[in-house]
Structure formats: C-alpha cells, structure tokens
Amino acid sequence: MAKQFKPETLCVQAGWTPKKGEPRVLPIYQSTTFKYDTSEQMARLFDLEDSGYFYTRLQNPTNDAVAAKIAALEGGVAAMLTSSGQAANFYAIFNICQAGDHFVCSSAIYGGTFNLFGVTMKKLGIDVTFVNPDASEEEISAAFQPNTKALFGETISNPSLEVLDIEKFARIAHSHGVPLIVDNTFPTPINCRPFEWGADIIVHSTTKYMDGHATSVGGCIVDSGNFDWTQNDKFPGLTTPDESYHGVVYTEQFGKVAYITKCTTQLMRDLGAVQSPHNAFLTNLGLESLPVRVRQHCANAQRIAEYLQGHEKIAWVKYCGLPGDRYYELAQKYLPNGSCGVVSFGVKGGRKAAEAFMGHLKTAAIETHVADARTCCLHPASSTHRQMTDAELQAAGVPADMVRLSCGLENAQDLIDDIAQALEAIR
C-alpha cells in the first residue's frame, strides 16, 4: 500500500490486498504450519534465502497483514506483532541489549514497563537508568555510559499523562549513537507519528486503542528503517554473523529491515511471545475504525476535563488538552489534533473521597484498563499502587486522591451527568 494514503484510508485498506476471487476480509490463518512440496524448498526458508511461511511462531499471514497496516500507519518500513505490549517492550530492548549492556529510560512510563525494565531485565544483566524526561539535555546525557544501547520514552505516559519532547529525546539518543524507542500506545499514529520527530523504533500495546473493544491483548514493534546500526560497534548482534542462522549478518542481508528481521528470526524463534492470529484479526477490526474512535475518545475527554476543572469538589485535573496544563505547549506541537481519551484528576477529600466517588458511578465501570469503547476508571492508590504509602504515591506522581478516567465512546453529556451525580453523592 503506497504511503501517500491518509490514515483513514490506510486503516481500512492497508495490509490485506486480496487478488481476484480471494476473501474481501482479512482471513484468520488459524494454522500452526504451512505445506511444502520438497525438503529443498523448506531448507531455503530455514537459511533465510527465501521468504515464506513455515510455522506460526515465526510468521503468520494474518499477523503479517496487521503488522503491515500498523507499519504503514506509523510510516515505518516493517513491523511485527507480539503477544502483548509488555512482550513488545521487552523484545524492542532485548533485540539490541545483552547482559552487561545498559539503556536510559524516561521515568514517566507505564508501571508494568517500569517493573520490566527496572527489576526483571536487571536480573538478565541489562541495566537501566531512569531519567526525569523534563530534565535538560545535559542532565539526561549525563546518564549515558559507554555500554548504553538505547533511549526509551512514552509519547504520553500512563497514568501520569506527561507528553514526551520527542525531538529532544531523539537529539540526545543520536548524539550518543543509539536509537530512540518510543511507546506510542496512548496517542496512536492517528494523533502522533514519532518517526516524523526523529524516533527510530516504535512500540505499541495494541490492547489499547488499536483493539479498542477490550477483546485482545497484543503488541507491535515498528521499525523506521532510519537508524544506521553500522555507524559504531555498539550493535554486534546486527552487524556481525549470527551463528544460529548460518552466519547471516542482518545489516548486510536485510538492510533497512535488519532490526525487525533479527527480532523475528531470533527472539520470536527462541522466546515465542507470538500473537494468536485470532487476536490479530480482532485487532484489525479495531484498526479499521481507529480514526473515528480516537476522535470521539478525545472529544469526550476534552469536554469532561473542562467540566471537572470547573467543579468545586475537584482538587486538580491533568489533561494536556487544557490550556494551563503543564504539557499543553508540548501537546500543541506533537499532538495538535488531540492526545488521548484518558484524564486524571484529584477528588477533594483525598483517598476516601476518591473511593466514594468511584463507588457512586453508574456508567463508568471500575477496571484495570484504558482505551475501551466503554468508559472505565481506576483509583491507583487502592489498586495498582496499593502497596505504596501516601508519601510514596505523591513522589511517584500518583497521589492518593487520583482517579484515572478512560473516556469511552458514549455520549459526553451522559458521562458528565454520571460524574456529576457521583460527585454530588460524596458526603
């Protein structure tokens, strides 16, 4: 699919282009394996001399069509699906870091990613330094070491809703000869395309807006094809022979798609966090309506944020679409058409009042999820972050009075009426 198409067209047309007599809708290739006539044909696939399907852990036509659609939406050269966003984040780093290596990461990221990077990957011998994303270029640069292999950040962080200065992060990463990896889950490529601002690799939890109907956990990694892995000796996994694939040198044999090819042929082969073709099919249905839904999520969130800001029982509101928000200017630059459907706010009266408010909601449900068509909310202090003290919560940017509201696709006035009656009911 040619790149000149606009996102709305790519969302419905890219990835699957049937020929005469083939199904109009992307089929679910619910098959673990694929048939060949001779062993010679199969051998050429194993030697990476031919492309073709042989086993779904490595590649599957349904998954590949959906990955191609996401690559087209982000403006990348190649993509791969993973079983979850967590798997995408792990692979994205592990593809270029091994024991003894280090990477730098914004501290404003999803809690699950924070744990993966700060605890689990440390056990594998890969070290991370978390930096305040709003710090100066000099301060962030000071975290780099000779063994640093990547810089990582989230376009809009979950749940703290901080907007990443992508150009600043790209400058820092490139001045140290490493790629910038950006988690673009919250804005989706409908609202931000980080490659246009200098990012090199993009990761997604497709579980969120891309699926959008809370049916399928999944992830995706997209390669811009722009990073030169041969510019220094930091990436031997890509630039020297891979003995597990008959000495292939990925940068020599695969050029601009070296990173994704290595990630598929090595990490998927060995670790197997593959997305089921059925989930890929459902994600594809979600992608078809992504632009329409994202616009409605954002319009609802904007109206609700404005309503909350003027309410006497609300202590504070965080939403980068509000003039006066700390990230309003950055959002105007990187997210001029809207940010996401998630708003966070504090209820006056602290932890007790926040819990009481949520208990009175009738339309918005209490869930550990965001980006669903149905509005949902979470009180992090009593759920995802319940092991922390109030002081620790404050320091982590998740204060005890905070409610995270993921605005769905319902009518905005109905949602406001629900919030109004729940606030009224707090005594």
* Beta pairing partners, 80: 221
Q: What distance in Å separates the CA atoms of residue 182 and residue 21, rounded to the nearest whole number?
A: 40
Q: Residue 110 or 229: which CB sits closer to ligand PLP?
A: 110
Q: Strands across the sheet with 102-106, in order?
A: 78-82, 219-223, 201-205, 180-183, 148-154, 102-106, 127-131
Report strand pairing: 365-366 vs 219-223: unpaired
| Total interface residues for ligand PLP by CB under 6 A | 15
| 321 binding ligand PLP? (CB under 6 A) | no
Residues in region 175-234 near ligand PLP by CB under 6 A = 183, 185-186, 205, 207, 217, 219
| 259 binding ligand PLP? (CB under 6 A) | no
SS3 of 202-263: the string is EEEECCCCCCCCCCCCCEEEEECCCCCCCCCCCCHHHHCCEHHHCCECHHHHHHHHHHHHHH
Least distance in Å: CB of 186 to ligand PLP?
A: 6
Backbone angles phi, psi at 346, to 5 degrees: -110, 140
| 86 binding ligand PLP? (CB under 6 A) | yes
Measured in whole angstroms, the distance separating CA 244 from the mean position of its chain's CA atoms is 30
Least distance in Å: CB of 203 to ligand PLP?
A: 7
Q: Residue 86 or 191: which CB sits closer to ligand PLP?
A: 86
Least distance in Å: CB of 216 to ligand PLP?
A: 9
Backbone φ/ψ region at 125: left (φ over 0), alpha (ψ -120 to 50), beta: left
Q: Residue 88 or 305: which CB sits closer to ligand PLP?
A: 88
Q: Residue 112 or 349: which CB sits closer to ligand PLP?
A: 112
Applying CB under 6 A, the span of 3-11, 110-118, 171-179, 256-264 interacting with ligand PLP comes to 110-118
Residues in region 56-85 near ligand PLP by CB under 6 A = 84-85
Residue-by-residue DSSP string for 325-386: STTHHHHHHH-TT---SEEEEEETTHHHHHHHHHHH-SSSEE-S--S-SS-EEE-GGGTTTT
| 158 binding ligand PLP? (CB under 6 A) | yes
Nearest to 336 by CA among 279, 390, 298, 378: 298
Report strand pairing: 219-223 vs 314-318: unpaired
| 339 binding ligand PLP? (CB under 6 A) | no
* Residue 10: CA count within 13 A, CB half-sphere: 21
Q: Residue 170 or 214: which CB sits closer to ligand PLP?
A: 214
Q: Residue 209 or 245: which CB sits closer to ligand PLP?
A: 209
Least distance in Å: CB of 196 to ligand PLP?
A: 20
Applying CB under 6 A, the span of 53-61, 109-117, 144-152, 224-232 interacting with ligand PLP comes to 109-117
Q: Residue 246 or 386: which CB sits closer to ligand PLP?
A: 386
Residue nearest to ligand PLP (CB): 85
> Applying CB under 6 A, which of residues 64, 154, 211, 223 lies at the interface with ligand PLP?
154
Q: Residue 145 or 384: which CB sits closer to ligand PLP?
A: 384
* Residue 279: CA count within 13 A, CB half-sphere: 20
Q: Residue 96 or 220: which CB sits closer to ligand PLP?
A: 220
| 406 binding ligand PLP? (CB under 6 A) | no
Give the number of other CB atoms < 10 A from CB of residue 125.
Answer: 11
Nearest to 209 by CA among 301, 273, 308: 301
Position 157, amino acid = S
* Beta pairing partners, 345: 317, 403
| 113 binding ligand PLP? (CB under 6 A) | yes
Least distance in Å: CB of 22 to ligand PLP?
A: 31
Least distance in Å: CB of 423 to ligand PLP?
A: 27
Contact residues for ligand PLP, defined by CB under 6 A: 84-86, 110, 112-113, 154, 158, 183, 185-186, 205, 207, 217, 219
